[in-house]
Amino acid sequence: MERVFSASEARANFSELVTEAGYAGREAVIERNNRPVAVIIGYEQYLELRRQAGERAARFAVYDEIRARNPEATPEQVEADVAAAVRAVRRS
């Protein structure tokens, strides 16, 4: 569950925000001039987000490779090729 703090509130409660993010999983959104500028999250959540970003990048690398080999292919054909490759990998 996220909470929203102004920068000055976050500064005044920094230790509490870090402790709650790390041990209770409570996110804190930091705002400056009523605009979100940062988030405090726990380290485990950070690692999970990094893992997900890496997986996403790897999946898109497959799309990029297929597009580079088939510059005239339509997006629909690229998606069909990727789906077929995923099915083949799952069968093996």
The CATH number covering residue 9 comes to 3.40.1620.10
Does residue 36 sit in the same domain as residue 53? Answer: no
- Are 34 and 55 within one domain? no
Separation of alpha carbons 18 and 84, rounded Å: 45
Each residue's pLDDT tens digit, 42-89: 999 999 999 999 999 998 898 788 778 888 888 898 788 889 999 999
62 and 26 within one domain: no
Looking at the structure, do residues 29 and 64 belong to the same domain, yes or no? no
Dihedral sign (CA 65, 69, 75, 79) = negative
Structural contact between residues 30 and 41, judged by C-beta atoms closer than 8 angstroms: no
Kindly state whether residues 8 and 35 are assigned to the same domain.
Answer: yes
* Boundaries of domain holding 31: 2-41
Kindly write down the DSSP assignment for every residue of 2-33, as one continuous string: EEEEEHHHHHHTHHHHHHHHHHH--EEEEEET
Q: How many helices (H) and strands (E) does the chain have?
A: 4, 3
What average pLDDT does the segment 7-28 reach?
Answer: 95
Q: Per the structure, how many domains does the chain have? A: 2
Q: Quick one: 34 and 65 in the same domain?
A: no
